[in-house]
Amino acid sequence: MVAMAMNLRMKAFYHHRDISQSPSGIQQELVTNIASANDFNKSREAKALLATNWWGDRNASSDHCTWPYISCNEAGSVISIVFDSDDNQDLGDLGSIDFTSFPNLDELYIHNCKLEGSIPEQIGLLSNLTYLSLSQNNLTGTLPASFFNLLVSLVNLLHLDLSQNRIMGPIPSTLGSMINLKFLDLSTNKLNGSIPPELSNLQSLVQMNLGDNNLDGPIPPSFGNLSALKFLNLGMNNISGPIPLDITTLFELEHVDLNHNRLFGPVHPEFGKLSKLFYLDLSSNQLSGNISFQTECTLRHLDLCKNYLSGVINTLSVCDALEYLDLSNNNFVGKIPLLHVTYWSYINLSWNHLTGLVPYNLRDHTDIDLSFNNLTLTEQSTNKDHQQRTMVIVFLDIFLPVVVGCCFLAVANVIYSCKKDTKNKIQLEMTKHGDVCSILNYDGTIAYEDFITATEDFDLKYCIGTGGYGSVYEAKLPSGQTFALKKLHRYEAKQPAFDQSFKNEVQVLTSLRHKSIYMEGFVADFGAARLLDPDSSNQTVIAGTLGYIAPELAFSMIMNEKCDVYSFGVVALETIGGKHPGELLSYLNSSASQGTMLENILDKRLSYPTDRLIEKEILRVCHVALACILTDPKARPTMRDVSQELSR
């Protein structure tokens, strides 16, 4: 639009200029007009940037080329806008920026900045754009065909990354018209429908990632036209049908991931002829048949687990660079070949029908699983095992029925005797002390004495939790019944407000009827007293268990949904870590927590998950929990958002 305005000015200039004007005067006036047009364009860019509120309180009179996240060309026009998560930005609505004000924009990179809203069609008007990445945000809506109709005009666009958002709907077929595109990543969204065969027109494409969506239908056979493709990820969808043979003709392929789909049919032997292929993951499908690899096998990562593959695995011996091998949960038979593995290699051949000796270089391997096969370590152990199995069979046939019968009678007699003694003892205690849970046979004085005796006058060793205004004790009565008692703190017991709050809580808890409700201090007492007091949103004291309540309650004393969200986040982290996160809460809210690994948070008593799907689900819960414990209540998600994210 700026160039069109300049052309019109020049035409008007030549039409109306004085014919007696000198050439130098004409040149000077032309320079003046160009400078005026540049100044107009720069002013328009600055106003569009300020309108977003992404740059704080800067004003239009300052040079926007000196602002952070902005790069300009020599003429002072914006050519690059780059935001990254390292700055912990919360930019809000993507539609707040007027993209028509940036005719020279070459790069737009906004990563993990909590962008919201749908993708504006104006982006399609950026004719100079070569790099577009809006990954790991909260973008919603669909991918409108009109948006890609505009993008088709972006002949310079080489990189398109919209991954890790919440974009829904099908992939428009017009995307296949962007023939110069080299990088395409739409993974980890909510896209559905089938994969458009028009994507096979992207013959310059080097990387395609459509994984972790809800795509269905077959893999287009025309993908064999993507001759430049090196990276292909269609994993974690609902794609069905066989793997097209045409894919095995893409000789530039280095990485293929089709895991967790509904693919069936054979694994083509031609995969073994792809000399540059180092990563192949076809796990968790319904593939069948045998596998075969050629002498030029360069695979470093091979995952075929959880399929219906069968036959021998002898040809794996030609893959001399394997670092990760998982063939578990299949129907492979025969012997394990001599594999070329390193000390750090991961090997899982469990749950097959493999037989014979384990190769010598695998016997002392540290990270290997050969369970649920019929393998032996040495020839001597083979003969010895056969004799032992024969003796075991004889024993089981003759003596086992007799032994089992005698044991059954003995156990039944013990159980009957114990049950009878316990019942008699309980009946005697009921007669003496009364039944606490019965109205007809209840003596409050005796019950109180029993509770005092059971807790040794509320000794701390029976305390199982401490809340904002009381402590919970475990009391086992002589009748065999176990109760949880809440005792108010000495000061709070004398305050009418606490007394009423405690009665409100008792009323709520006694009215609840659910199989999952149990008396646990940090779950049952938090905020329950407010349910029956409509004026208790503004308190003068903290109600709830310390360590689980939101930090802002200590200052504002105002209870809202975001406080419950914080408590949920703490409980979620406690579930993941096996203990209260403690000082980890403040650390995770600091800038030093960037790059914190899951292994630093996960319960140390548990082994780190080897299944990538399980690891991903744990990470999803962890990310939700971290969002819930943010110091700024406004930055925390709503419980509806939490529910939707965890149910994805």
Binding-site residues sit at: 486
Question: What six digits make up the tokens of 562?
Answer: 């975001």
**Residue type at 509?**
L
For the CA atoms of 277, 281, 282, 285, what is the dihedral angle to 10 degrees?
-170
Question: What pairs with residue 255 in β-bridges?
Answer: 231, 279
Q: Compute the distance between CA of residue 146 and CA of residue 172 in angstroms, rounded to an integer.
A: 9
User: Which tokens sit at 142?
Assistant: 């669909």
Distances 244 to 179, 218, 252, 269, 305 between C-alpha atoms, Å: 22, 9, 16, 12, 20
Nearest to 161 by CA among 199, 197, 189: 189
- Using an 8 Å Cβ cutoff, are 117 and 95 in contact? yes
Residue listed under structure tokens 């045998």? 290
Burial class for 295, CB neighbours closer than 10 Å (0-12, 13-18, 19+): exposed
Tokens 């019929």 identify what position? 374
Q: Is 49 helix (H, G, I), strand (E, B) or coil?
A: helix
β-bridge partners, 483: 475
Annotated binding site for ATP: 486
Q: Is 141 helix (H, G, I), strand (E, B) or coil?
A: coil
d(CA 95, CA 103) in angstroms, rounded, equals: 17
Per the CB < 8 A criterion, the answer to whether 125 and 98 are in contact is: no
Q: What is the residue-wise DSSP string for 507-571?
A: HHHHH---TT----HHHHSTTGGGGG-TTTTB-SS--S-TTTS-TTHHHH-B--HHHHHHHHHHH
Give the Å distances, CA to CA, from 276 to 250, 299, 530. 10, 8, 65
Q: Write the Ramachandran bin of 119: left for phi over 0, alpha for psi from -120 to 50, otherwise beta.
A: beta
Biggest CA–CA distance in the chain, Å, is 126
Dihedrals φ, ψ of 402, to 5°?
Answer: -65, -45
Residue 571 to residues 467, 548, 582, 600, 622: CA-CA distances in angstroms?
15, 8, 11, 17, 11
Of 549, 556, 554, 552, the residue nearest 570 (C-alpha): 549
Per residue, what are the HEC states of 451-463? Answer: HHHHCCCCCHHHE
The number of beta carbons lying within 10 Å of the beta carbon of residue 254 is 17
Cα–Cα distance, 143 to 126 (Å, whole number): 17
Task: Please report, as a single letter, which amino acid is at residue 603.
Answer: D
The residue among 301, 223, 213 whose CA lies nearest residue 260 is 213
Contact 525, 545 (CB under 8 A): yes
Please check whether residue 339 is in contact with residue 323, taking contact to mean a CB–CB distance below 8 angstroms.
Answer: no
Rounded to an integer, what distance in angstroms lies between the CA atom of residue 339 and that of residue 173? 45
Residues 6+ away with beta carbon under 8 Å from 574: 580, 581
Burial of 472 (C-beta count, 10 Å sphere; 0-12/13-18/19+): buried
